[in-house]
Structure formats: structure tokens, C-alpha cells
Amino acid sequence: MSKEIQVIAWFDTDGKITPIKFKYEEESVQVICINKILSRTYEKVAGGQLWNFKCSSLIEGIEKLYTIKYDLINGKWMLFI
């Protein structure tokens, strides 16, 4: 399942992106803090340029693993659960 999300991230002086937290809306709005970035990879797919972040967060007391992707061309973030 994928869903467009709003993300707060910081960029270092070299342009490295680090997502900090994101807003997830389903039945209610949740702000999820990213506890760990387990990996970050760059890929080119069908003309798109994406940064993939495999992350973990504590959500309702349970550690969850997920992937968020940043589309460099469109400036959009997507959550993959």
C-alpha cells in the first residue's frame, strides 16, 4: 500500500536528505517520528529519481518497519507499508 504524505526533513550542506517525521492521515491524523533510518538508497525508475528510506518507528507502542520515498522531480513523499 502506498500513500502520499507530508514530511519534515533536514538537508545537510552536501544536500543529504534526512526525514525527521511525517503526517499520516487515515481515520485520524497522526504525526509519526522516525526513530531510525535503517538504509537509504537512490534509484532511477522510468525517468524518475527517487530516494528510498527504510525506517522504523514506535507506533502505538509497537515498532513498525516501513519505506518512505522522495521523488526528486515532483518533490513528493510517499509512504509504503
What pLDDT is recorded for position 23?
A: 95
Question: Taking a C-beta distance cutoff of 8 angstroms, is the pair 73, 48 a contact?
Answer: yes
**Res. 47: pLDDT tops 90:** no
Separation CA 48–CA 37 (nearest Å) = 22
- Whole-angstrom CA distances from 19 to 6, 46, 49, 65 are 10, 24, 17, 15
Does residue 46 have a pLDDT over 90?
no
Per-residue pLDDT, averaged over 31-52, amounts to: 94
Residue 49: what pLDDT? 94
Question: What is the average pLDDT score of the chain?
Answer: 94
pLDDT band at 24 (very low <50, low <70, confident <90, very high): confident
Q: Is the separation of the CB atoms in 23 and 34 below 8 Å?
A: no
Rounded to an integer, the average pLDDT of 55-75 is 95
Q: pLDDT tier at 19 (50, 70, 90 boundaries)? A: very high
**Paired strand residues for 35:** none
User: Distance between CA 14 and CA 42 in Å, rounded?
Assistant: 15
